[in-house]
Amino acid sequence: MILYHGSEYIIDKPVLGGGRSHNDYGSGFYCTEYPDMAREWSVTSEHDGYLNMYDFDISGLKILDLNKYPVMTWLAVLLDNRTFEVTAPLAREARDYILNEFLVDYSTYDVIIGYRADDSYFSFAQDFISGVISYEQLGEAMRPGDLGNQFVLKSAKAFKRIRFTGSERVSRSDWLVRKETKDRKARAAYASADKRFIKGSLYVVKIIEEEMKKDDNRLR
């Protein structure tokens, strides 16, 4: 398959152990199947970027595809890696409960596939564990934008399967606007969504009180 990585630099030889440990799925090499998404990732207000292109042989690798799991599993992996301030007692309790009950052991996988949780979408997840929105509302909030999938190479075996095929210069004057527009649309859609308390919905406090587990059909 063909993968893309957006960066300030040309990366012709991805290195195992690189990347920040507090990214969505921990340290690893983050790629996508969508070149335009990688172009957006590559630019900031301060610099242009590069679209790095790779061939990747996925056959025989151990892959954790979080799209095949309930959103709660994706959220647990996210909470295990991303850093954020948790001050409210409910949010602390919710974070611990989700990690204890819904986190899968992803340490043995070569590749992780899952949503990319940029800042706007991560703020929705924070609202959920704080009890502001329900599980159903979290799912709705994630639909308006185009999260797309990211492929994260995690093991030495995976890094041996990726081959650099070229790069392309990306102009921030063209792609920064698209990146910021997507974020604004996601935030605007969330801001205008109905966040009223809805009886019978799955708020995090109910999930904790009823000690729901990963096999609970209500969380599918």
Mean pLDDT for 55-81 is 92
- pLDDT digit string (tens) for 32-66? 999 999 999 899 888 999 999 999 999 999 999 99
Above 80 in pLDDT, residue 121? no
pLDDT at 144: 46
Helices within 83-166 (DSSP H only): 89-102, 119-129, 135-141, 156-159
Name residues whose C-beta falls within 8 Å of residue 199's C-beta, 6 or more positions apart in sequence.
none
Name residues whose C-beta falls within 8 Å of residue 57's C-beta, 6 or more positions apart in sequence.
161
Name residues whose C-beta falls within 8 Å of residue 173's C-beta, 6 or more positions apart in sequence.
none
* Of 163, 125, 148, nearest in space to 29 by CA: 163
Q: Which residue has the higher pLDDT, 180 or 38?
A: 38
Sign of CA dihedral 142, 134, 81, 70: negative
pLDDT at 195: 67
- pLDDT digit string (tens) for 122-157? 777 888 999 988 998 887 766 544 556 889 999 999
Above 90 in pLDDT, residue 158? yes
Q: Which residue has the higher pLDDT, 140 or 161?
A: 161
Phi and psi at 149, nearest 5°, equal -95, 150
Sheet holding 149-153, edge to edge: 29-31, 149-153, 111-115, 63-65
How far, CA to CA in Å, does 148 sit from each of 64, 118, 141, 172, 195?
16, 11, 14, 21, 25
Mean pLDDT for 71-82 is 89
pLDDT at 77: 92
pLDDT at 193: 63
Q: What angle do CA 112, 114, 120 make, to 5 degrees?
A: 135
Highest averaged pLDDT of the listed ranges 95-104, 138-147, 187-196: 95-104
**How is residue 170 annotated by DSSP?**
E
pLDDT band at 207; cut points 50, 70, 90: very high
How far, CA to CA in Å, does 137 sit from each of 72, 140, 187, 206?
13, 5, 14, 14
pLDDT at 57: 97
Q: Quick one: 144 exposed, middle or buried, by C-beta within 10 A (0-12, 13-18, 19+)?
A: middle
Q: Which residue has the higher pLDDT, 94 or 17?
A: 94
